[in-house]
């Protein structure tokens, strides 16, 4: 069973969608936008979406007529859960390296919703990885025991969930469904973005990354420092620096990006928020002029879907699983912990040759 078959054959009216939506993270917002499109195509009625900052929703998503629920309000969440007949976890590697206490609480909430409130619980396009913590394994147990259906997004997640549940089916990440969506409205928005941030030949799109778990700080700080060094030592290379989260989420990272932009005329910065499918359409429109460097699973997937070269950076099992699906040989991948400035230079030369003439 895959997600399209599931959606086509399942009554999803009065569903409550839950994920890390509203935090401004590119990957989570992409998953929500894709799933919203799929449910809108089906004509699902009475859909509710949990969201961290409902006032920011229009800046990252199209209006599908769904009701927004402030995930920070326990009362609003309880009312939404009681009113909804189904609860959907819409994608993401929740039980992985980024595991935190909130994910454990969410997993326990799913368990209670199934066995105390009688709700149907569906986990769609989710990941469960051996790189998670002990809390992650506990949380995954609660979520798996709660789920009527689990559509796991890769082989490792199938194996891990399969140890706990008999309701596991192998599928892919929800973002793959962009291939089946009508992107016409997003292409129109991408044209406006293109006017604001035009792309010339031989442009490198690089993303900064905020560590989401304490044990990742050294890893991503090392990467961000290499990006800064690359910007400084390649003054003739057009570079767009993509921010994956809003400034409120990490003002320190934005401060760095703005400082770099002031000192380097060849650098431009794409600030969040923006609709992730508009961003995909923007990259597609600039195919042949762009190459991507980003330690972010859904940006790697976006580059692949747009047929744009990307540096295969691996920072967690979930990325290795994605690269398996794409078909990137193991000897061509670079562990983020081992990346050097020479790797960035070699990738730019491979894609574009020397500095822009």
Strand-strand pairing, 267-270 and 168-170:
unpaired
Strands (E), the chain: 15-18, 48-51, 67-70, 86-95, 120-128, 149-152, 168-170, 203-207, 239-242, 267-270, 290-293, 313-314, 334-335
**CATH number for the domain formed by residue range(s) 3-180:** 3.40.50.11720
* Per-residue pLDDT reduced to its tens digit, 55-95: 999 999 999 999 999 999 989 998 999 999 999 999 999 99
CATH architecture of 185-352: 3-Layer(aba) Sandwich (3.40)
pLDDT > 70: what percent of the chain? 97
* Per-residue pLDDT reduced to its tens digit, 246-282: 888 889 999 999 999 999 999 999 999 999 999 999 9
Question: What is the average pLDDT across 127-143?
Answer: 96
pTM (predicted TM-score): 0.93
Residues 100 and 107: their CA atoms lie apart, in Å, by 11
Domain locations in the chain? 3-180, 185-352
At 133, the pLDDT band (50, 70, 90 cuts) reads very high
Burial of 27-63, coded b for 16+ CB within 10 Å and e otherwise, reads bbbbbbbbbbbbbeebebeebbbbbebbebbeebbbe
At 357, the pLDDT band (50, 70, 90 cuts) reads very low
Same fold, 3-180 and 185-352: yes
pLDDT at 249: 84
**Cβ-defined contacts of 71-77 (< 8 Å, 24+):** 71/18, 71/21, 71/22, 77/50
* Per-residue pLDDT reduced to its tens digit, 113-130: 999 999 999 999 999 999
pLDDT at 220: 85
pLDDT at 214: 60
């Amino acid at each position: 069973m895959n997600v399209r078959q599931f959606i086509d054959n399942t009554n999803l009216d009065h569903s409550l969608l839950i994920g890390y939506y509203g935090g401004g993270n590119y990957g989570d917002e992409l998953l929500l936008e894709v799933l919203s499109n799929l449910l809108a195509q089906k004509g699902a009625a009475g859909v509710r979406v949990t969201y961290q900052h409902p006032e920011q929703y229009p800046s990252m998503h199209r209006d599908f007529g769904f009701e927004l629920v402030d995930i920070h309000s326990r009362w609003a969440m309880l009312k939404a859960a009681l009113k909804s007949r189904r609860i959907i976890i819409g994608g993401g590697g929740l039980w992985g390296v980024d595991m935190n206490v909130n994910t454990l609480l969410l997993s326990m909430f799913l368990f209670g919703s199934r066995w105390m409130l009688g709700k149907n619980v569906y986990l769609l396009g989710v990941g469960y990885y051996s790189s998670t913590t002990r809390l992650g394994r506990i949380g995954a147990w609660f979520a798996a025991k709660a789920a009527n259906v689990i559509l796991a997004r890769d082989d490792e997640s199938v194996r891990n969930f399969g140890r706990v549940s008999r309701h596991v089916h192998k599928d892919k990440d929800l973002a793959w469904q962009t291939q089946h969506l009508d992107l016409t409205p997003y292409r129109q928005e991408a044209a406006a973005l293109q006017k604001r941030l035009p792309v010339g030949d031989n442009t490198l799109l690089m993303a900064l990354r905020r560590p989401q778990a304490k044990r990742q700080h050294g890893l991503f700080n090392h990467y961000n420092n290499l990006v800064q060094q690359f910007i400084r030592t390649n003054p003739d290379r057009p570079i767009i620096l993509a921010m994956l989260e809003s400034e409120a989420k990490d003002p320190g990272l934005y401060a760095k990006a703005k400082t770099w932009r002031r000192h380097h005329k060849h650098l431009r910065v794409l600030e969040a928020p923006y609709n992730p499918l508009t961003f995909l359409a923007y990259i597609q429109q600039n195919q042949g002029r762009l190459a991507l460097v980003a330690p972010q699973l859904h940006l790697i997937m976006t580059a692949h879907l747009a047929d744009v070269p990307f540096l295969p950076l691996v920072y967690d099992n979930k990325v290795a699983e994605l690269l398996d699906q794409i078909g990137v040989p193991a000897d061509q991948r670079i562990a983020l912990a081992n990346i050097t400035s020479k790797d960035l230079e070699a990738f730019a030369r491979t894609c574009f040759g020397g500095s822009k003439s």
